[in-house]
Amino acid sequence: MKPFILLGVRPEQAAADDEYAAFARFTGLGSDLQRHAVDREPFTGDPSDYAGIIIGGSPFNVSDAAKSPQQQRAEDDLGQVVDIALAEQIPLLGACYGLGLMARRRGGVVDSTFGEQIAAVPVSLTVDGRADPVFGSLPEVFSAIVGHKEAVSTLPADAVILAGSPAAPVQALRIGPAAYGTQFHPELDADGLHVRMTTYRDAGYFDPQEADAIMALARATDVTHPPEVLRRFVEFARAFSPA
């Protein structure tokens, strides 16, 4: 059976380790989930060796006007993985930064129009989302944790919206039959959010003076449904056969 891999893009070790632990837990893969830190070294593997590929979040933005050599190399490297996965119909899931990267590679527009401060927000499935094999088992409206400076403002031509929210019309999409992207963080619960907020306290994702209030709201909100996306993605990827 082919393995799954998380391609991480977080230079901050604490956040990177916690992100991996969350994906490993909520996918149900545990330590069988492989990982590679693309921000540290190029990914030289063959995407077709994997049953599914996950691209996580990042402090990088694909719409940044100026990019460090590290950021540009990681983006180019991941872009090649996205291109191959889409061309060969290898199951792919991009979360937050991963979504933006996927959308931009396919000609979509990713900018600051629909950025959101860190919060737990209501997300609604679209008609396509309700019929989707990965998203269809979710409630029509569920809460999820968001926090992003950029988002998809114009869809790629071959993408369909699976979920949206009042402040961000594209909270989830599918490109082709097997590539998924979420703007919300399917791997985040309140404990994970605490790690992120501690790591990125001064990175502009939220007002540090509101940190306690944001955490209190997150702990009081049911965010148990987004992780179902990860479990369902694994089930989908294992059963998927390219056309």
Q: What is the DSSP letter of 136?
A: T
First to last CA, the chain: 20
pLDDT bucket at 212, cuts 50 / 70 / 90: very high
Nearest to 85 by CA among 179, 190, 218: 179
**Cα angle, residue 93 at apex, residues 200 and 61 outer, rounded to 5°:** 35
30 sits in which H/E element:
none
Please provide the average confidence, as pLDDT, over all residues in the chain.
97
pLDDT bucket at 20, cuts 50 / 70 / 90: very high
Question: Considering the chain, what percentage of its residues have pLDDT values greater than 90?
Answer: 99
Q: What is the pLDDT of residues 58-91, one digit of tens each?
A: 999 999 999 999 999 999 999 999 999 999 999 9
User: What average pLDDT does range 178-197 have in this prediction?
Assistant: 98
Say yes or no to pLDDT of 185 above 90. Answer: yes
203-214 in b/e form (b: 16+ CB < 10 A) is eebbeeeeeeeb
Q: Torsions phi, psi of 60, nearest 5? A: -75, 155
Which of these is catalytic: 96, 116, 148, 150?
A: 96
Q: Cα–Cα distance between 163 and 34 in angstroms, integer?
A: 28
Tallying the residues shown for the chain, one arrives at 243
Q: What is the pLDDT of residues 102-154, one digit of tens each?
A: 999 999 999 999 999 999 999 999 999 999 999 999 999 999 999 999 999 99
Beta strands in 149-199 (DSSP E): 151-154, 159-164, 172-175, 179-182
Which of these is catalytic: 75, 116, 150, 185?
A: 185
Q: Cα–Cα distance between 79 and 83 in angstroms, integer?
A: 6
Which of these is catalytic: 12, 75, 150, 187?
A: 187
Q: Cα–Cα distance between 242 and 91 in angstroms, integer?
A: 9
**pTM > 0.95: yes or no:** yes
Assess whether 194 carries a catalytic annotation.
no
Q: Cα–Cα distance between 130 and 123 in angstroms, integer?
A: 13
What are the structural domains, with CATH classification, of the chain?
4-239 (3.40.50.880)
Assess whether 185 carries a catalytic annotation.
yes
Place of tokens 């997150």: 218
Strands 52-55, 4-8: pairing kind: parallel
Say yes or no to pLDDT of 194 above 90. Answer: yes
Assess whether 187 carries a catalytic annotation.
yes
Q: Cα–Cα distance between 205 and 242 in angstroms, integer?
A: 38
Nearest to 179 by CA among 112, 118, 120, 108: 108
CA dist 41 → 5, 77, 162 (Å): 15, 10, 33
pLDDT score recorded for residue 239:
97
The contacts of residue 21 (CB under 8 Å, 6+ apart) are: none
